[in-house]
Structure 1
Amino acid sequence: MTAIKNNGTAVAVAEKANEVVTAVVVRTLENGVKKAVNIPSDLIEPSNYNARKTFDADALKELAQSISVHGLIQPITLRRKGEKGEHYEIICGERRFRACRMLKLAEIPAIVREATDEQAYDLSISENLQREDVPPMEAAKAYKRLIDTKRYDVASLALQFGKSEKHVYQTLKLCELIKGIANLVKAGKLTASAGIVISKYDKKIQAEILKDRLGEDGQGEWCSISAGVLDGKIQSCYTNHLENYLFDKTPCLKCPHNSTNFDLFATGSGCGRCADKKCLDAKNTAYLVEQAQAVALADPKLVFIGEQYGYENEATQKVRKGGYEFKNVHTYNLSRYPTAPSVPQSADFAKPEDFAKAQDKYGKEQERYSKQTAHLDELKEQGKIRVYAEIGDKGVKLHYKEVASKDTKSNEQLIADLTAKKKRNTELQAEKTAEGVKELLRTDELPESAFTADEETAMYFFMLSKLRRSHYKAVGLKENDYYGLTEEKKLQIASTLTEEQKTVIRRDYLYSHLTDRTATVADTKGGLLLAFAKQHLPKKTAEIEATHAEDYGKKNARLDERIAGLKKAEKQMKADAKAKKTEQPAKAENTAKTVGKTADKAKKATALTAKVAEQPKVIPTPTAGTVHLVTVPPKGKKAEVATAV
């Protein structure tokens, strides 16, 4: 080995790659001399609190090559672990440890020191943060872990690591990145400066930026631009100038989502930009609703402008739900109310004389504005113009329209119209409620529970409509009360019924349904009707049954007689048909014999005819008493004639 001395440090360099590499660091400290010792590598284990979680494979190979040539210049730092201190945990130097393991070194030079968990934690993170090549995301997490221990703040961290407070604060902001953007910074596809710019915005805006501008793969249009340009683009696309809004912005001046407060060390002027769109919209909506309610309260005749098919902002929807009157009127048919001039501010003018001129101009504009509004207010009181209010995105705008003389209404007429609308609204309320409740009962299952008194009252309320007039007296009514039995009166009766009255009503209700469209006692419903009658009027029901049974029994008896006669006739017809069917074969046999004899006779006649045809033919002559016999000769010969006297 070759010993090299440099600044009080003795370094041993191995000649072979797998030889034990010893580096002895001699340094006088307050607690004495610390020396590096060789620790078996299989007794060393990494810690769980190391800030560095990723190790570049190529960089580890380069470090291992350097160690094989020059030795381990800086030993690792360990502390004992286990009940008997038989193991060692790395405090600092996990990267060097990994490189030595790549060289398969049996022992690794290390400084063993005593340290509590807190001390080991702080040393591990501090050692990593002091490296020049520490990745920004790892540095951010390391700072945050130290802050989370409650033993450090931004100022103490800056002092300990020799960084500015601004640097520590901005690095900590990287911990507020959503996972997708943090991964881009880790992969080097987005610079740490760009990540710090994006970290100022809430998670929702970050997600939109990642999706629309950066891309999950880091190939978006905003990945390659500088942090300064990126900041401007985000403000332009994802924030709003607070100066454009009219609500009280005092709470916004110290809000962390205000662009003037993104960087604790930056300076800015004006209201700034808001990066919390949800909060901004909520404050603006509340302001618009308040303004609309104030305008409506000041003018009872005012009507809001609605959009039947177009977009309505949230404030308009809330005001509409508040019950205020809306009409679908197009603003191009209306005239705009004059707008109050803005009061000049001295801070906006460089010279006093310019400010004085602005004040003079403002005074004239204010006077003209007052005259115009006073004139319009007068016309409004006379009913010559109708005022409309439009709820915009930044404020409430007033419009007006001239009213024709025939359309002009007095206050009394307007009150009458509004009263009628109020009455109709009450009716609509009841109608819509009924519609909603019916739909609810149609679609939802009713819970299982005991039948309540209110349900029973409702049941008898409907049953009373089937009560027969002859039973009105039973429930305290007269028969001529039929046309005066209102629903209110039925409800009153239904809620005070006795058990006897309930029985009467139930039976009449049952009677009504049993008799309604019941045409026969042969079906199920008719059977229920018959059973009901037998139960309550058994004797008379039996008489009815007997009467109709006797009547239709006789008719059925006559029908049975006719049926029996027809059956007998049918039986005789079948017997006759069978006899005829038996006679048919004998006749057929006789007919066949006759046909055979006839055929034989025909054959004999045919044969006789043939013989006659073969004999000579006799041809008579005109001579009296003379017979000429002519013999037909064969073909080719002459005929022979014989004469007989």
Structure 2
Amino acid sequence: MEATLNQTAVKDITMVAISAIRPNGFNPRKHFDEVSLNELAESIRQQGILQPVTVRPIADSNDYELVFGERRYRAATIVGMQEIPAIINDLSDEEAEEIAITENLQRKDVTPMEEANAYQRLMESGRHDLSSLAVQFGKSEAYIRTRLKFASLIPEIAALLETDEITVSVASEICRYGEDIQREVYEQHLKEDVTYSSWRGQKASEIARSIERQYTADLDRYSFDKTLCLSCPHNTNNMSLFCEGCGKCANRTCLAEMNASYLVEKTLQVLAENPTATLGHTDYDYNLIAVERLMAMGHEVESAMPYGTAYPRQPEAPEKEDYDNEEAYETACSDYEQEQSDYRERCAEIHRQSENGEISLYVKIGSNNITLCYVKKNNTADDTTQGQPLSPVEKLEKQDKRNKEIALEKTIEDTKKQILNIDVAEAKFGADEDRMVYFFLLSSLRRENFALLGISEEHSPYLNDEDKMNIIANLTAKTKAVIRRDYLIAQFKDAYRNNATADLMLDFARKHMPNELAEIEDGYNQIYEKRHQRIEERKAAIVAKEKPTDENDDAAEASSEDAKPEEAAA
């Protein structure tokens, strides 16, 4: 069928073979409605093509690349035209892309996601900013900004917007949040198979409130410095005109990092002020990230600590501007002085009880804060030496010894696991291993080695006496090694701390898996060294605090001795 151009001939318009035209990748429109496309094809069949397409030459060929006019090109293909009227322009890649995007964005059937991706590409080209895009397309900057945010939607939600399963207003609310929150919103509320908790069909305002309630955290609940949060785009205060309190955080990764960093720093500060205190947390209310970081630094952190009693909080001094008159302010100051006196008295009593071993101080790591607490002590055998309470230094030395034991216990436990994975079938059998008797050793043969000794896979998990006798009759050097080592591995389950079995197992590991054992030992020894260093620092702090008292006692005793001759003379 011949193409018809229903307009006055223009010298720049050329008939180009449709087979010589290649679509481009610049077009922001990726979806073409079939009904609309067929209607355009029927119009072309009746009236011809009213407006030419634009193409550019493809280098080193006789073909052309379509710049814009893809709907006309597709409709002409449906009609069966051999040629199509076209304007041939020699354009660079950048010029072709910008023209294609600009022309297609002015069509009415461009989807919001197609707009978003097109604006994003124009911004990334470096030739446009928000203001120039608003001027070029006759849109407000707020409109362009909203469309640009759509480019951050996860593919699943973008597809829902593309197919009109969610509205532009709903997408505008969702795109304010990061990928993690978007993913949860989709999986829990927008996915097709979600029923009871589905948000499909809800108003944008309802979804906005639901997201804020379920997926953001109230910053007022956290104790870290929130100066940076005031200007953060993930603060809900910066997402709306009406603000209350510190706002809510929609960036959970950043929130978790700032909170954990604060908790670690606060813990170290409280420990420095109270070197005899231990670290711990309750079963449920604690920050795992902070606990892991403190343990990696060498601190011992006890789990399932009792709730205890919080250390008294220092009273806050009254501010004069908070009171209506001078009398009320003076009354508040008087109350404050009494509160200060009570606070100092209470702290002194806690300090006395701590020194006498009546209570224990510990730093409780909570979810969002650090609290210095104390609990009454039960003087068990673990806390005494020959009936006498342990001194703070002795307690730390005892803890240091236990930490060393823990490092060895952990090394043994991990070594047990690694030994099961090693291959020692080809290794030379030592003289110490040769003392073992094969018949009894076969009781410990692992099932995965049955086939090596001629036992079928269908055999029961246990060998009977006849099986063992048959195996012994056909032993080779390799099968001997397998049997003996399987026996040793079976016995290593009883390895514990520094018992003889543990020593044998570690010797075995040094021979057959030296690299793995070295890695295990290094890991736990590094933790011990860090903990050892912390304990030495805390011991030094305790000794430093006690030293001035000892010196004063010595000076007083010396003064008393000097006074005796005078008293005698008198």
Distance verdict in 2 for CA 1:151–1:364, change over 3 Å: farther
Q: What is the CA deviation profile of residues 306-365 of structure 1, one whole-angstrom value per residue up to 9, with x for unaligned ones?
A: 44x65653134544564346374533xx4444445678999xxxx976699998797567
Shift of 1:184: 1.1
Whole-angstrom CA distance in 2 between matches of 1:249 and 1:447: 61
SS in 1 for 2:65: strand
Match in the other structure for 1:175: 151
8 Å contact kept, 1:25–1:34: no
Distance verdict in 2 for CA 1:159–1:353, change over 3 Å: farther
Match in the other structure for 2:4: 21
Distance verdict in 2 for CA 1:35–1:216, change over 3 Å: same
Match in the other structure for 1:299: 274
Whole-angstrom CA distance in 2 between matches of 1:157 and 1:218: 39
Superposed, 1:320-359 pairs within 5 Å as 322-324=298-300, 326=302, 328-331=304-307, 334-340=308-314
Distance verdict in 2 for CA 1:114–1:444, change over 3 Å: same
- Is 1:399 aligned with 2:399? no
Q: What is the CA deviation profile of residues 15-37 of structure 1, one whole-angstrom value per residue up to 9, with x for unaligned ones?
A: xxx664313368xxxxxx76545
Superposed, 1:398-477 pairs within 5 Å as 398-401=372-375, 413-434=391-412, 436-437=414-415, 440=418, 443-444=421-422
Q: Which moved more, 1:54-63 or 1:270-279?
A: 270-279
Whole-angstrom CA distance in 2 between matches of 1:267 and 1:34: 60
Whole-angstrom CA distance in 1 between matches of 2:73 and 2:419: 73
Distance verdict in 2 for CA 1:70–1:292, change over 3 Å: same
- AA matched with 2:18: S
Match in the other structure for 1:235: 212
Question: Structure 2 residue aligned with 1:224, among 196, 201, 209?
Answer: 201
Distance verdict in 2 for CA 1:354–1:126, change over 3 Å: farther
Shift of 1:305: 4.5
Whole-angstrom CA distance in 2 between matches of 1:355 and 1:189: 62
- Is 1:52 aligned with 2:29? yes
SS in 1 for 2:151: helix
Whole-angstrom CA distance in 1 between matches of 2:327 and 2:249: 34
Distance verdict in 2 for CA 1:379–1:166, change over 3 Å: same
Q: Which moved more, 1:309-318 or 1:231-240?
A: 309-318
SS in 2 for 1:128: helix
Whole-angstrom CA distance in 2 between matches of 1:20 and 1:275: 57
- Is 1:163 aligned with 2:163? no
- AA matched with 2:400: K
Whole-angstrom CA distance in 2 between matches of 1:23 and 1:345: 85
Q: What is the CA deviation profile of residues 116-147 of structure 1, one whole-angstrom value per residue up to 9, with x for unaligned ones?
A: 22222111110111112210111111112222
Distance verdict in 2 for CA 1:425–1:192, change over 3 Å: same
Whole-angstrom CA distance in 2 between matches of 1:357 and 1:192: 60
Match in the other structure for 1:246: 223
Whole-angstrom CA distance in 1 between matches of 2:368 and 2:187: 29
- Is 1:98 aligned with 2:98? no
Question: Structure 1 residue aligned with 2:341, among 352, 371, 377?
Answer: 371
Distance verdict in 2 for CA 1:87–1:202, change over 3 Å: same
**What's the TM-score, normalizing by structure 2?**
0.63
Shift of 1:248: 1.9
Shift of 1:369: 4.8
Would you say how many aligned residue pairs link Structure 1 and Structure 2? Answer: 422
Match in the other structure for 1:151: 127
Q: Which moved more, 1:276-285 or 1:411-420?
A: 411-420
Shift of 1:207: 1.2
- AA matched with 2:260: T
Match in the other structure for 2:363: 389
- AA matched with 1:212: Q
Whole-angstrom CA distance in 1 between matches of 2:154 and 2:210: 19
SS in 1 for 2:135: helix
Q: Which moved more, 1:238-247 or 1:318-327?
A: 318-327
Match in the other structure for 2:509: none
Shift of 1:171: 0.9
Superposed, 1:131-142 pairs within 5 Å as 131-142=107-118
- AA matched with 2:346: L
Whole-angstrom CA distance in 1 between matches of 2:249 and 2:328: 31
Distance verdict in 2 for CA 1:274–1:66, change over 3 Å: same
Whole-angstrom CA distance in 1 between matches of 2:130 and 2:394: 70
Match in the other structure for 2:165: 189
Distance verdict in 2 for CA 1:24–1:392, change over 3 Å: same
Match in the other structure for 2:549: none
Whole-angstrom CA distance in 2 between matches of 1:357 and 1:156: 63
Distance verdict in 2 for CA 1:444–1:282, change over 3 Å: farther
Match in the other structure for 1:290: 265
**Percent of aligned pairs with the same amino acid:** 34
Whole-angstrom CA distance in 2 between matches of 1:41 and 1:414: 91
- Is 1:380 aligned with 2:360? no
Match in the other structure for 2:463: none
Whole-angstrom CA distance in 2 between matches of 1:131 and 1:107: 24
Question: Root-mean-square deviation (CA), in Å?
Answer: 4.1
Larger Cα Rg: Structure 1 or Structure 2? 1
Whole-angstrom CA distance in 2 between matches of 1:225 and 1:387: 53
Q: Which moved more, 1:228-237 or 1:99-108?
A: 99-108
Q: What is the CA deviation profile of residues 447-490 of structure 1, one whole-angstrom value per residue up to 9, with x for unaligned ones?
A: 999x9xxxxxxx99x9xxxxxxxxxxxxxxxxxxxxxxxxxxxx
Distance verdict in 2 for CA 1:52–1:344, change over 3 Å: farther
SS in 2 for 1:381: helix
Whole-angstrom CA distance in 2 between matches of 1:227 and 1:345: 45
8 Å contact kept, 1:341–1:362: no
Whole-angstrom CA distance in 2 between matches of 1:66 and 1:357: 90
Shift of 1:214: 0.7
8 Å contact kept, 1:34–1:111: no
Whole-angstrom CA distance in 2 between matches of 1:312 and 1:369: 31
Distance verdict in 2 for CA 1:36–1:387, change over 3 Å: same
Superposed, 1:528-607 pairs within 5 Å as none
Whole-angstrom CA distance in 2 between matches of 1:137 and 1:382: 69
SS in 2 for 1:382: helix
SS in 2 for 1:124: helix
Distance verdict in 2 for CA 1:74–1:398, change over 3 Å: same
- AA matched with 2:5: T
Q: What is the CA deviation profile of residues 610-640 of structure 1, one whole-angstrom value per residue up to 9, with x for unaligned ones?
A: xxxxxxxxxxxxxxxxxxxxxxxxxxxxxxx
Superposed, 1:597-636 pairs within 5 Å as none
8 Å contact kept, 1:22–1:38: no
Shift of 1:410: 9.1
Distance verdict in 2 for CA 1:448–1:44, change over 3 Å: same
Distance verdict in 2 for CA 1:23–1:47, change over 3 Å: farther
Question: Structure 1 residue aligned with 2:234, among 251, 254, 257?
Answer: 257
- AA matched with 1:397: T
- AA matched with 1:108: I
Question: Structure 1 residue aligned with 2:251, among 252, 269, 276?
Answer: 276
Whole-angstrom CA distance in 1 between matches of 2:326 and 2:174: 44
